[in-house]
Amino acid sequence: MCVDNHPPERLDSPLFTSRSSEIYSWEGSRLLKLFNAEVDPFLIENEKINTIEAYQKGVTKVKCYGMIQIENRTGMIIECVDGKPLISLAGSHPMTAFSVPRLMVELQLQLHQTQTDIIRSYKEMVIASLDTPPLAFLSTKEKEIIMTRLAFLPDGNSILHLDYHPDNIMSDRQSATIIDWMTAARGVPAADVAATLYLLNEGEMIPGLNKVVALALESVRKYLCKHYLKEYQRTTGMTDAEIAPWRLPFLIVRLGVWNIESEVLILQKKIRAALNE
């Protein structure tokens, strides 16, 4: 897959900005996902690998066309998919909110029923996270305890998204697809469910929201979390006991991989609390 160089003046204003990237219109029906300069090149390479694999396995409509370099920033050319993020769609069409948990489960089940040997191992991802600077607060003994617990957890080859929430599902009310594959891994479905429960229940809200909007979104995501879990467990028979051991690994990955400044102290406290359970 080639890497081309393009001048920055070719770009218009971004269509969307996230913590790690900006999205721009590109040629035809394509988009440029331009990563911020400080994003780890390893994570960018993983997003490319994960996106290609997810597309080839049929669990996303997002196709990767290649990589480009714009000054000191790396970009990925991807297919533009129709629609809006699911949370935005629910905001503009409130009645659709009631169908969101079921749609989330349907898409995630398709993901979990798909096997891969290309995408990185989730357990290896957790282990690697323990060696990152944000996890340096843990003692050697604490890391040994985590490694022991991790060793007793099951392996698996299902595709896990690990950043699965309504903002990463695009829908035009006729069809929907999952986007943003940077943190995907392979493992057991319970690990991905644990990640989604954390994101819906405890993940940091979008920065800069006014208090009224933030309160409204908080209520919506609590509703989604409750009904998403109920629907997933009803459909699969997965138990709370299967999900619970994967909370600590996700807290570690959330801190080590995302490393969101405003979450660091909170996650460190939650990791210590989970270690003492």
CATH number for position 73? 3.30.200.20
* The one-letter amino acid at 90: A
When divided into structural domains, the chain yields a total of 2
Cβ pair 253, 132 in contact under 8 A: no
Say yes or no: 111 and 229 in one domain.
yes
Given 79, 97, 115, the domain boundary residue is 79
Given 53, 79, 105, the domain boundary residue is 79
Measured distance between the N- and C-terminal CA atoms of the chain, rounded to whole angstroms: 46
Does residue 218 have a pLDDT over 90? no
Say yes or no: 212 and 107 in one domain.
yes
Report CA-CA distances (Å) from 84 to 76, 79, 91, 176, 181: 20, 14, 11, 9, 17
Cβ pair 93, 100 in contact under 8 A: no
Kindly report the CATH number assigned to the domain that includes residue 187. Answer: 3.90.1200.10
At 219 the pLDDT is: 77
The string of pLDDT tens digits covering residues 35-75 is: 999 999 999 999 999 999 999 999 999 999 999 999 899 99
The string of pLDDT tens digits covering residues 116-174 is: 999 999 999 999 999 999 999 999 999 999 999 999 999 999 999 999 999 999 998 88
Q: Compute CA 87 distance to the chain's CA centroid, rounded to the nearest angstrom.
A: 15
92: burial class by Cβ within 10 Å (0-12, 13-18, 19+)?
Answer: exposed
220 pLDDT band, cuts 50/70/90, is confident
DSSP state of 257: I
Say yes or no: 158 and 127 in one domain.
yes
At 1 the pLDDT is: 39
Say yes or no: 61 and 150 in one domain.
no
Say yes or no: 24 and 103 in one domain.
no
Say yes or no: 240 and 225 in one domain.
yes
Name the 3-class secondary structure at 36.
coil
Does residue 86 have a pLDDT over 90? no
Say yes or no: 69 and 184 in one domain.
no
Say yes or no: 179 and 194 in one domain.
yes
Say yes or no: 135 and 252 in one domain.
yes
* The one-letter amino acid at 31: L
Given 79, 101, 130, the domain boundary residue is 79
DSSP for 212-252 reads HHHHHHHHHHHHHHHHHHHHHHHHH---HHHHGGGHHHHHH
Cβ pair 165, 203 in contact under 8 A: yes
221 pLDDT band, cuts 50/70/90, is confident
The residue assigned the tokens 């997933």 is 232
Q: Which of 94-108, 122-136, 156-170, 260-274 is least confident? A: 94-108
At 269 the pLDDT is: 97
The residue assigned the tokens 């109920």 is 230
Angle between helices 211-236 and 100-112 (to 10 degrees): 50
Say yes or no: 22 and 124 in one domain.
no
At 205 the pLDDT is: 61
Say yes or no: 125 and 19 in one domain.
no
d(CA 196, CA 56) in angstroms, rounded, equals 24
Closest by Cα among 83, 43, 92, 45 to 62: 83
Say yes or no: 228 and 142 in one domain.
yes
The string of pLDDT tens digits covering residues 159-209 is: 999 999 999 999 988 899 999 999 999 999 999 999 999 999 998 766 555
The string of pLDDT tens digits covering residues 9-46 is: 567 889 888 889 999 999 888 999 999 999 999 999 99
Parent domain of 31: 3-79
Q: How many CB atoms lie within 10 A of CB 251?
A: 26
